[in-house]
Structure 1
C-alpha cells in the first residue's frame, strides 16, 4: 500500500521526494560556532535514512544572535564547510534546509559578545542577564542580516531556509505582548508588533528569489497568560502567507517562560539544572523549578488541534 507520507510534495521552487522532514532541532555539534564533521555525518545519516529533507539548526544570523557556545553562526568563512554538508545530503537523494534566526534576549554577553537585545529592555532570568531594547534605527540592519543569511545559505548549497519566528526568540519577542512593551510603532497593537517580522520577511523573500523555498516556524500560542493566543497567531500566519512564504512550521511555547509547552511532559529539573553555570539559579531551579516552570501534560499530537 502506498501511503501519502511517502509521496512527493512541492514547496515553492522545491520538490521533496517524500513528505518526511527532519525538523530544525538544535544539534550542539558546532564547536566554536563552526560546522563539524559530526554535524555533516549526522545529517548525511538522516538523509540516507530516506527523509525528504533534513534541516540544520539553529544558525544565528549575527554573532549577537547566538544562544549557545556550540551553535552555528552563519558567516562567509564557514560556507566551504557547509557546502560539504549539503553535498553529502544531496548525494543521498534528500533536500537540505537551514534554520536561521536570532535568539534576542535568550543569550548572555559571555556567549554573544554583547548585552542581549530584545523588543524591550528588562531582565531575563533564564540566562540570567539584563536585556537591552533595540532602537528602531537598528531594526532595518537586523532585518538585512536575515536576508544576508539567505544568500549565504544559497551559496552553501541549501535548498531552503526556515526563519525562526517562534519559541520566544527575537521575532517572537516582537510579536508577543509579554516581551514587547514598546511605545513606538513597533509595539502595542498586533499590526504594530508584526512590523519587525514584516521587515525581516521582506528581506528574506527578496533574497530567496525564485530558487529557494522559505519556511517560517511560528507559535500558535505562547503557552501562558499574557502571551500570544491562537486568534492573533492566525493573523500572523495569514500575513506570512501574503508575504509569499512557502510553508509554516506550527509550534508553540516560550523557552524563557513556558519551555514545557513546546515539549510536554514532566519537567527535567535535575538534568536542566546540571548544565546551568550560575550557582544560585542552579540550586533555585532544583528547589523551586516545579513552581517556576509549570509542566504541561503530554498527549499524542498535542499541536494538532490548534493547527487545524
Structure 2
C-alpha cells in the first residue's frame, strides 16, 4: 500500500523542492495599477509566505498587451524584471517558493481598457469593452506562442520557481478548447484534438525553452459550467493529451468561466450589488437587466466542491495533480492526500487568514473561518482583500 503523504511535509514539484504541499492559488491581487510590482503586491504575497504556504502564485502575468484582462496588470517584459526579481527574492527569504501564472486573457480581456483589440478562437462580441473580439489568425497564434516563450524565459531570470500556464476560465487557450467559443473550420477548430492544438503547442514551446529549470504546470478546467464550454469528459481528454506529451510537471484542476459563468468556480454567495457598484456605468446598467443578473449565478458552497469531478482525473492520470475548490479544513486536505492528489490549492481561505497553514500545521486550528460570501471578488479593482477583515479599500488602483 502507498503511504498517504503528510500535507505539511516537504514535497517535490518537477525540479523544485517545496516545504509543504499547500499552494496559494492565483487570484488577481489588484495591486499593480501601472503594470509594475508595488510594495503592496510584495506584502500581499509575503503575508501568505510568512503564514506557511508552500507555494504562492502571482496573478496575473500577461504575455502580451492585449492579453491583460484590463490595463492594470503586468505584461511580462524587461520593464518589469527588476520588480519581479525583488518579489521572488523577498518570498524566497521566508522559505516559500513562488509561481507565476502566465497567460493570455483572450476574450476575457477588456480591449477598450487595454487599448488593444482582444483575441479569441472565433469572432464574438465583448460584454466588457462593447467591442467585437477578433478571431486569432495564424500569425497571431504564432506570435502569442513566442510571447509565452519570451515571458517564460524572463520569469526564470526573475527567479520564479514555477510557471503556471493558464488554460482555463475562457482565457485564450480555453476559448479554443470550448466548442461553443471555437467555431473555426481550420486546423484549430472542430475536433477536440484540433481545439487542444494551441494548449499543446504552448506547453511544448515553453518546455523546450525552460523545462528542467523551473516546474511547469497548467491550470485546466474540469468543467466550464456553461453550454458550449469544456465538459468533464472533454477536460479528461485534454488532460490525457497533455500528460502524454510530457511537457508539464503537474495540472491544477479548476472550473468555471470568467466570461460566461464565474460563480461556477467560486460557489457560495453571489455579490451582485457589490460587483455592479465596482464596474463602469455601461456594465453596471447591463447587470440590472435579466441577462446581466443571470451572469452571477449562485451555487451553494460545499467543502471541496470540485473533488468528485477531480477524482475522475486522478483515476485517469498518473501525473501530479493539484486539487482546488473550497478547501478550508484540515480534513479536506488530508482527504485530498488520501485520494491521491499531490497538492492542495487555496484562494479565499488564505485571503481571509494568511497564516492559516501555520495554524493548521501547529494544531491551533482545524478549519479556516472564511464564510464564502464572495464579497472579496469585486475588490480586485481596489486591492483584493477580505472586506470582513479590511473594511477600508486600498487606494493604489484607479480604473
| TM-score, normalisation: structure 1 | 0.95
Equivalent of 1:304 in 304, 307, 328: 307
Partner of residue 24, structure 1: 26
- Superimposed CA distance per residue, residues 186-208 of structure 1 (whole angstroms, 9 cap, x where no aligned partner): 00110110111111111111122
Q: Using the alignment, how far apart are the partners of 1:127 and 1:189 within structure 2?
A: 30
Q: Using the alignment, how far apart are the partners of 1:292 and 1:94 within structure 2?
A: 37
Q: Answer whether contact 2:226 2:261 (CA < 8 A) is retained.
A: yes
Partner of residue 236, structure 2: 234
Unaligned runs of 5+ in 2: 312-399
| TM-score, normalisation: structure 2 | 0.74
Q: CA deviation at 1:266?
A: 3.1
Residue 10 (str. 1) matches residue 12 (str. 2): yes
Q: Answer whether contact 1:257 1:293 (CA < 8 A) is retained.
A: no
Q: Residues 299 and 131 from structure 1, CA distance in 2 versus in 1: closer, same or farther, beyond 3 angstroms?
A: same
* Partner SS state of residue 31, structure 1: coil
Question: In the TM superposition, what are the counterparts of 1:1-308 in structure 2 within 5 Å?
Answer: 4-243=6-245, 244-279=247-282, 281-288=283-290, 289-308=292-311
Q: Answer whether contact 1:8 1:17 (CA < 8 A) is retained.
A: yes
Q: Residues 291 and 92 from structure 1, CA distance in 2 versus in 1: closer, same or farther, beyond 3 angstroms?
A: closer
Q: CA deviation at 1:129?
A: 2.4
Q: CA deviation at 1:291?
A: 3.1
Aligned residues between the structures: 306
Q: Answer whether contact 1:124 1:256 (CA < 8 A) is retained.
A: no
Q: Answer whether contact 1:35 1:78 (CA < 8 A) is retained.
A: yes
Unaligned runs of 5+ in 1: none
Q: Answer whether contact 2:225 2:261 (CA < 8 A) is retained.
A: yes
* Partner SS state of residue 37, structure 2: coil
Q: Using the alignment, how far apart are the partners of 1:258 and 1:14 within structure 2?
A: 34
Q: CA deviation at 1:297?
A: 2.2
Q: Answer whether contact 1:267 1:290 (CA < 8 A) is retained.
A: no
Q: Using the alignment, how far apart are the partners of 1:300 and 1:176 within structure 2?
A: 27
My pick for the range that moved more, 288-297 or 71-80, is 288-297
Q: CA deviation at 1:91?
A: 0.7
Q: CA deviation at 1:78?
A: 1.2
Q: CA deviation at 1:226?
A: 2.0
* Partner SS state of residue 287, structure 2: helix
Q: Using the alignment, how far apart are the partners of 1:81 and 1:145 within structure 2?
A: 20
Q: CA deviation at 1:292?
A: 4.2
